[in-house]
Amino acid sequence: MTQINHQFRLAARPVGMPKRTDWKYVEEPVRQPGDNEVLVKTLYLSLDPAMRGWMNEGKSYIAPVEIDAVMRAGGVGKVIASRHPDFKEGDEVYGTLGVQEFATVQGKTLTKVDSGLAPLPVYLGTLGMPGMTAYFGLLEVGKPQPGQTVVVSGAAGAVGSVVGQIARIKGCRVVGIAGGEQKCDYIVNQLGFDAAIDYKSQDVKKALREHCPNGIDVYFDNVGGDILDAALTRLARNARIVICGAISQYNATSAVKGPSNYMSLLVNRASMTGMVVFDYADRYADAMREMAGWLAAGKLKTREDIVTGIETFPETLLKLFKGENLGKLVLKVA
């Protein structure tokens, strides 16, 4: 019997927030693997803010998804057929599987994972790409020193929640900026941040003055826009700003809002550096080992926000832009 593969393909380049009509939900027969290929049944998909950027035309750090192509997504799944020597039926793997139920991919693009060590969705969050982003962005670009003040925005999300916890492990004072009381309560009372600022109900500039009396040594920016501008007003001398993302601008229909307070970099001899996680790919294994150790020791907590049903993909993706996820947003395929 022919197996059927349901997929989301990009139908149109969105203007502003993506709409249902920007997608095509299609079905086609599952393609059996050729030489060196592996057929994977997708179990969980990673939903990432970056997906919004991949839907746009134009040059970025990675090629855009073509119109009619299966939407790009990282995922974990189970091998159901293999013609690659390193993989056999039943292996659990991570790869760029796409928003589809089955993926036929080159074996060399897959990495084995082990649900005996951590539940599979964790390999999409804390032990996956967002966790690696937090680890390398903070430690290699932010270079926090014990006793310094680290501020992170998007603090209750996949990257931000890990940034704050690693900064605590490294002996820093950590202030998180997040939207709403529940998220602020979570990062302080569950994750051990020193303070939280609710940007939806508080004056961020004023709150930063209160919580960072000696200024900000490292600002890890996930959101850009007004919050980046507010952080710039509070820098300590030699501060490092890590430009990880700017989610507040991803659906903008007019020009991206840039920082106006950038002269603070000059006054404070500070730096602002962009980072792309893929540049550290050859060191992921070492970082994962260290992070897994922190998880096992209870020093690092992980949280996944799991929604079930591949057919909900267009609406579930929007949770990221509406701030409806707490922790790593994951789509359970069935």
Q: Count H helices, E strands: the chain?
A: 9, 15
39 or 156: CB nearest ligand NAP: 156
**Secondary structure (3-state) at 27:** strand
Selected from 39, 40, 44, 49, the binder of ligand NAP by CB under 6 A is: 49
Supply 164's token pair: 């704050």
| 158 binding ligand NAP? (CB under 6 A) | yes
Angle of helix 158-169 relative to helix 129-136, nearest 10 degrees?
40
| 131 binding ligand NAP? (CB under 6 A) | no
Supply 168's token pair: 């605590």
Task: Round to whole Å and give the CA distance between 333 and 284.
Answer: 26
Q: How many residues bind ligand NAP (CB under 6 A)?
A: 31
Partners of 127 in beta bridges: none
Q: Could you tell me which residues come within 8 angstroms of residue 1 by beta carbon, excluding any fewer than 6 positions away?
A: none
Stretch that binds ligand NAP, among 103-111, 127-135, 254-262, 285-293 (CB under 6 A): 127-135
| 50 binding ligand NAP? (CB under 6 A) | yes
- The site string for ligand NAP over 246-265 (x = CB under 6 A, - otherwise) reads xxx-----------------
| 18 binding ligand NAP? (CB under 6 A) | no
Task: Round to whole Å and give the CA distance between 286 and 28.
Answer: 39
Stretch that binds ligand NAP, among 30-38, 90-98, 126-134, 211-219 (CB under 6 A): 126-134
| 277 binding ligand NAP? (CB under 6 A) | yes
55 or 236: CB nearest ligand NAP: 55
Sort residue 281 into left (φ over 0), alpha (ψ -120 to 50) or beta.
alpha
Number of C-beta neighbours around residue 299 at 10 A: 14
Minimum distance from CB of 21 to ligand NAP (Å)? Answer: 22
| 126 binding ligand NAP? (CB under 6 A) | no
Nearest to 180 by CA among 325, 307, 50, 305: 325
Number of C-beta neighbours around residue 17 at 10 A: 14
Binders in 159-198 for ligand NAP, by CB under 6 A:
159-160, 178-180, 183
Minimum distance from CB of 159 to ligand NAP (Å)? Answer: 3
Selected from 130, 131, 215, 259, the binder of ligand NAP by CB under 6 A is: 130
Beta pairing class for 102-106 and 111-112: unpaired
What does the binding site for ligand NAP look like in residue numbers (CB under 6 A)? 48-50, 129-130, 133, 154, 156-160, 178-180, 183, 222-223, 244-248, 275-277, 320-321, 323, 325, 329
